[in-house]
Structure 1
């Protein structure tokens, strides 16, 4: 019996060592001399079990936080700044949002899906940042405090009004892109209609093609039709969104042909030719206008600076001293004349037919 007891003791010790090095050790019931000691040991054991159960949930929270942080850092700085402004200054932002009339319509026409209050918060945040940055730049040039504050205020106001007009600029650019691609889309639809395809399928084909903004707009028309809008309502909504006479003429012709009957393919071919003819006429007018502006551009960028420098040198020689400080001369030559050139180039660019 002594040999058996010794063997059992060895196995018990071996099992204890195995349990100690196991990945999840087996907890034994606490043993103590008194009932209070056993209760305290049980409470400590319960706390250990609870902490181990909460550890996975904490890891999940950390992973969710890191994922949220990564998503936030992926957003543009302007959006994050707008979210902060909306969070801390919701009252002033909402008051300003209610005072800006027509902003929601401009955002809709520009296809900007940002909510109105969030866009206003972004406007305030970016404008405030621009104002502070302008004050900092003015301070670096050792300008007086009042001048620096004035420059900062002008920077704030200028950026704010620019962001207010930005949706309108995007909308005008988008309308120009749609009008430029309209002849190609109309010919695409006309060829499909001649082959016996329905008007809805023709719109879907243009939406899936690579015609730029007009493909995106036709895709929105198809989505409206799938969500319950009629064909007429979807096209009317597209017409109101674009607010263009040329696009409105196309939409009215399509709706009239669908409602009263007619060869829609021939009508679309004719409209495409009209668009092409109008573009050619605008291009000819643009070329004639550029020929006149080109002379002014060459005079302002080449002849005028040369005459200005010659005049300054001649006057200085006659007066036996510089009639203009070198700093002022450098500002005129390096800033004023290049600025005039940029204005002329911008005017030529804006006059380009779309």
Structure 2
């Protein structure tokens, strides 16, 4: 967050502290903090979604490429075959690579840029193996099959870890999104019968109409952030 934005944010917070109840000012602080986090991570989430199918398709594409290489085809012809086989985002990226090579860029540079764009560990390993083979030689078909097996195994481990995290997170999410609003409302109703109004109606409406929905949305984004790139 830039300095002018931070200054404006705290100025508004201080003004609210002076002209409104403390609860309103604190809700403003929490709401702005959540909005900032959402704005910060939204581009990353959209970028991850644009390549969401790449890691799922990558093991099959690498095995297919290995079979093509074993059949005697060269690397360039194998890449064309994988591009035409429609492996989702991976085929689209290969199409871009082949177009860049067609217009003069080296195969190594085009593949490296592809791995940087996708930010996929498995694809980066495969690209490094392809480039290493282009430079010093080796059995690329066998190496790609080994990488495909490793990627599949890593995907299974990540899914298992994510499911364990998700089980714990669901308990917290259920409490905050469902139980907490009900418990707080019951406590306020019980307290009001004894001591009168504890908080104003406007604050209560803001809490249930703005604060809790924002907390639920924030937790949903956080849950999406934990999702493995598979």
> Do both proteins adopt the same fold according to a TM-score greater than 0.5, normalized to the shorter chain?
yes
- What TM-score do the two structures reach when normalised by structure 1? 0.49
Give the Cα separation in 2 of the matches to 1:216 and 1:255: 20
Aligned mate of 1:267, from 143, 147, 152: 143
Give the Cα separation in 2 of the matches to 1:305 and 1:247: 45
User: 1:121-168, CA deviations, whole angstroms, 9 ceiling, x for partnerless residues?
Assistant: xxxxxxxxxxxxxxxxxxxxxxxxxxxxxxxxxxxxx99xx69x85x6
1:288 is matched with which residue? 164
Pairs within 5 Å for 1:211-230: 211-230=87-106
Aligned mate of 1:185, from 44, 47, 61: 61
Aligned mate of 2:197, from 322, 332, 347: 322
Give the Cα separation in 1 of the matches to 2:99 and 2:200: 65
The structure with higher relative contact order (CA 8 Å, sep 6+) is: 2
Report the alpha carbon displacement of residue 170 of structure 1 after superposing the two structures with TM. 5.0
Deviates more, 1:324-333 or 1:272-281: 324-333
1:150 is matched with which residue? none
2:153 is matched with which residue? 277
Aligned mate of 2:183, from 301, 307, 311: 307
User: Is residue 344 from structure 1 mapped to residue 213 from structure 2 by the alignment?
Assistant: no
Report the alpha carbon displacement of residue 174 of structure 1 after superposing the two structures with TM. 4.0
Give the Cα separation in 2 of the matches to 1:348 and 1:169: 11
Report the alpha carbon displacement of residue 244 of structure 1 after superposing the two structures with TM. 4.7
1:233 is matched with which residue? 109
Q: Is the 8 A contact 2:45 2:225 kept in 1?
A: no
Aligned mate of 2:131, from 255, 278, 281: 255
2:122 is matched with which residue? 246
Unaligned runs of 5+ in 2: 1-34
Give the Cα separation in 1 of the matches to 2:173 and 2:182: 14
Q: Is the 8 A contact 2:122 2:147 kept in 1?
A: no
Unaligned runs of 5+ in 1: 1-157
- What TM-score do the two structures reach when normalised by structure 2? 0.73
2:26 is matched with which residue? none
**RMSD (Å), alpha carbons:** 2.6
Give the Cα separation in 1 of the matches to 2:112 and 2:60: 21
Give the Cα separation in 1 of the matches to 2:46 and 2:165: 26
Give the Cα separation in 1 of the matches to 2:121 and 2:71: 29
